[in-house]
Copies of this chain bind each other. A is one copy, B any other.
Amino acid sequence: MSLEYAILGFLNYRPFSGYELKRVLDESIHHFWPADQSQIYKSLSRLADRGLATVEVIAQEDRPNRKVYHITQEGRKEFLQWVGRTPDSEELRKPFLIQVFFAGMLSDEEAIAVFEDKAAELRGVLERYAAIDDSPTHGEKAGVPPRERFFWYLTLECGTWAMQRELDWLEKTIERIRNKEYEAGPRILPPPQSKES
């Protein structure tokens, strides 16, 4: 569903083939919505079935014909309605937390190792995010107006914030385990301060 809307969003800029879409999706929304190639093709034909896009077949020799998809009036209407809608409530599945939940079955050292590994992974992701940030796609690309770029940038910023905060939490938690603060029972850290930096 979400992927279909993302594709519709790009078709709203200009027509695309499936192949082209794979490339632009990879360098735009990949950090919060990795899109598989075969999933893109499926979504495109579904959009065409639903009348939200039309196919223009461009004949080619020596390689398969290109299929260029154009958004339709209904497509544009449906898309714009969707962008302005109140967002669906989010997925909350965090496999890592299952490990945390049962970490009581491990020794302090083993549990800390799990948290450290997780922290290392997050640091890696943060580095990759920083790299995207410096890449031409976010930054000063093409003739994209600043307001548009602002919202593109927000998606990166949101991810970075979330990661950085989770990393902070991991580091504090590792400290707490080191200090055996669990002996006092839970509820050691105050809930994050709502306002206030």
Q: Which of B106, B150, B162 contacts A165 (CB 8 A)?
A: B162
- Per the CB 8 Å criterion, the residue count for chain A at the interface is 87
Using CB atoms, name the residue of chain B closest to A182. B150
Residue-wise interface mask of A (146-174) relative to B, using a CB-CB cutoff of 8 A (1 in contact, 0 not): 11111111110111111011101100010
- Complex contacts, A146 vs chain B, CB 8 Å: 182-186
Known: A80-B105, A97-B32, A153-B186. A166 touches B162 (CB 8 A): yes
Identical subunits present? 2
Is B83's CB under 8 angstroms from A99's CB?
A: yes
Is A152's CB under 8 angstroms from B191's CB?
A: no
Among A4-12, A39-47, A61-69, the stretch in contact with B: A4-12
Known: A84-B113, A164-B191. A155 touches B97 (CB 8 A): yes
- Complex contacts, A49 vs chain B, CB 8 Å: none
**Best-surrounded residue of A101, A140, A159, A185 (most CB of chain B within 10 A):** A101
Is B97's CB under 8 angstroms from A158's CB?
A: yes
